[in-house]
Amino acid sequence: MLAGGQESRVADMLLAGHRGEWLLPIWPDVQHVGSPVETGDELVSCRTAGFDFASGGRALLYADLHRWEVVSVSAIESDHLLLSSPVTGAFARGARLLPLRRGWVRDGSEAVMLTDRVSRRTLEVDIAEPCDWPVLAGGAEYLGTRVLDVRPDASDDPSHAYAGLRESVDFGIAMPVVADLPGITLRTQRDSWKLFGRSEHSWFRSLLYSLRGRQRRIWVPSWCDDLRPALPIAAGSASVAIEWAGYTHFALGRPNRRDIRIQLLDGTVYYRRIIDSLDAGSIEILTLDAALDGAGISVHQIRQVSFLSMAALASDATEINHLTDADGTARATTGWQAVVPDV
């Protein structure tokens, strides 16, 4: 945060004199109340969908540095908050309303003095209470597991790599003992996200809460043109002819190389498993576990054929960089680590 004058002095006083829990405003969830809040009111009219309010938690009504109030939330409705006790102050329309969470300020908050009055300071806070954010509901599934069915942002170049999980033990008296648990190289993938508006922010947070860090798995498309159709797909056929890519020789039956996502230009998406492949010279004939629905499909109707990898997040922590509040724009990056078995 950039603070000058009064704000800088107040921040220094607070940090110098307080070591306990703080009530942290969730800055991306700020909103302006649409109607005045009068003394004695026991509800606050506001938006609640996609905001980090908690029943039994607290919220902040803020007009300025000298006029603010912490209120306790007893229940959350679609268009207002019910309070545990009446508001003691009065706040005009346009006052700010923010959810509050208990947390601890990490040590090492360094202030960089730009002048004798203006400073730049970074605060890191560990939240000291759980967040009951809803997990994803609905969405595409394949073989009983959720599929990442929202395409990430490609303005930042996506990247991927392949690595094994080899572990080596060397006592220095003989050749090292090397253990390769999966026996194959596994794909890692990095996707970037640009989130616009509260609905996209809420969806992304629900995705992260659904995955629980690295605990749960999800099918992740490569989002690449991995296989190129060479001939039209006949109606009711489970065979797909592709340009030669070495699939028959190098990938047939391999984990994380036997499931594909077929997307048409009209937005239709099919998820299928490759159960056989035949090398036919300049093309390869793939046999799918089920035919594609409907009439025949021409090559020009197919936008992309991508591999699906069963994956987990590569880290338990995912950072969201808020450029504005959550009604605006944010950026995030997810790393994916393919896993085996893949069903």
List all residues 6 or more positions away from 33 whose beta carbon is below 8 Å from its beta carbon.
Answer: 44, 45, 46, 61, 91, 93, 94, 95, 96, 97
List all residues 6 or more positions away from 162 whose beta carbon is below 8 Å from its beta carbon.
Answer: 185, 186, 187, 188
Q: How far apart are CA 329 and CA 196, in angstroms?
A: 5
Per-residue pLDDT of the chain (343 residues; tens, 9 = 90+): 555 666 777 777 677 766 778 899 999 999 999 999 999 999 999 999 999 999 999 999 999 988 999 999 999 999 999 999 999 999 999 999 999 999 988 877 777 777 777 778 788 889 999 898 999 988 899 999 999 999 999 888 889 998 887 788 888 888 888 887 777 888 999 999 999 999 999 999 999 999 999 999 999 999 999 999 999 999 999 999 999 999 999 999 998 899 999 999 999 999 999 999 999 999 999 999 999 987 899 999 999 999 999 999 999 999 999 999 999 999 999 999 999 887 7
At 83, phi and psi to the nearest 5? -105, 150
pLDDT at residue 299, as a whole number = 96
pLDDT at residue 189, as a whole number = 95
**Among candidates 139, 126, 150, which has minimal Cα distance to 334?**
150
Q: How far apart are CA 161 and CA 223, in angstroms?
A: 14
Q: What is the CA radius of gyration of the chain?
A: 27
Q: Which pair of tokens denotes residue 33?
A: 């109340």
pLDDT at residue 4, as a whole number = 60
Q: How far apart are CA 179 and CA 46, in angstroms?
A: 57
Whole-Å CA distances, 19 to 38, 99, 143, 161, 272: 34, 22, 50, 44, 56
> The whole model's pTM is what?
0.88
CB 59 within 8 A of CB 73: yes
